[in-house]
Amino acid sequence: MFSGCGGMDLGFRGGFTVFGRHYPRLPFEVIWANDLNAAACRTYRHNLDAGIRQGDVWALLGTLPEQCDVLIGGFPCQDISVNGKGTGVNGARSGLYRAMVEAASRLQPRVFVAENVKGLLMRHNAESLRKVVTDFSSLGYDVSFHLHQASDYGVPQSRERVFIVGTRPGSASFKPPPHPQPYATTPMTAGEALDDLKSLAENPGTNHIWSRANKSPDQGSRRLQPDRPAHTIRAECHGNIQFHYELDRRISMREAARLQSFPDSFIFKSKLRETERQVGNAVPPILAWHVAVAVRGCLRND
């Protein structure tokens, strides 16, 4: 649910290589997916070769399969984010988590995974977090939530995200994935991730295109540091994505996708602004892969 371009789904499926490291195929198959954004659905279809239904999630709940083992989704964060309106899960966008609760109620998956921004753990969102946990718990799930820093798992970006995980009786308890070496102590830097791209000319076919937006306050003036992970890639950057650490330009969409840990073979089927939105909204595939391995552990008790 709320699949976007498919970063979380790619991670759960596995079978991809990025930064010279292979993330093996996992035993998950996507049997139903949905997103409202038409451009994101085009990208999803091109890269994941799986059926995805484009449209309003409430209107499409009737097309859900009869059952599934695992339900995953990153419900919209705009009302929870520190850059949002602060209405929490009462907002029109973040309130869509209720569609995920309804899907869990109908499908009764053994495990569900709901992803959102770190802001959900902030004091002013305490009631929103309590509401989300209570609504899922009322379905009979043992619910826990965990904050993960993507750079701890090999993503060259400082990106903190909350994963709310629920397991049904009969499934093993969820254990958060351990931080793999060397990333637990030495995160991958922006320079390591991007240096081989800096001499390449623009190429729309590989999404190596960049915004010409003028320097602007806050995010619009940030520059990558080559010896540390990138700043968080945001979806609504309006062209004001961070500048390259060495070149006199903003980073390209291919570079932003690298910083999110998408393999170079993953092509975004959209122009600049829509690609910015898709890349910024995505769950880093590497992080999703590690979460998926932990979820697999919940199912190994038969």
H/E stretch holding 13: helix 7-13
- Cα–Cα distances in angstroms (integers) from residue 93 to residues 18, 44, 86, 178, 299, in the given order: 32, 21, 11, 32, 31
Residues 216, 218, 220, 224, CA torsion sign: positive
CA nearest 8: which of 116, 149, 128?
116
**Cα 112 from Cα 117, distance rounded (Å):** 17
CA-closest candidate to residue 51, choices 72, 62, 65, 66? 65
Tokens of residue 6, six digits? 């498919």
Q: Which residues are catalytic?
A: 77
Instruction: Measure CA of the first residue to CA of the last residue in the chain; give whole Å.
Output: 27
DSSP label of 14:
-
- The three-state secondary structure class of 17 is strand
For residue 240, give Cα distances in angstroms to 80, 126, 133, 212, 233: 21, 31, 35, 9, 11
Q: Residue 86 to residues 79, 127, 188, 200, 232: CA-CA distances in angstroms?
A: 5, 12, 32, 41, 19
Contacts of 74 (CB under 8 A, 6+ apart): 2, 4, 8, 114, 115, 116, 281, 283
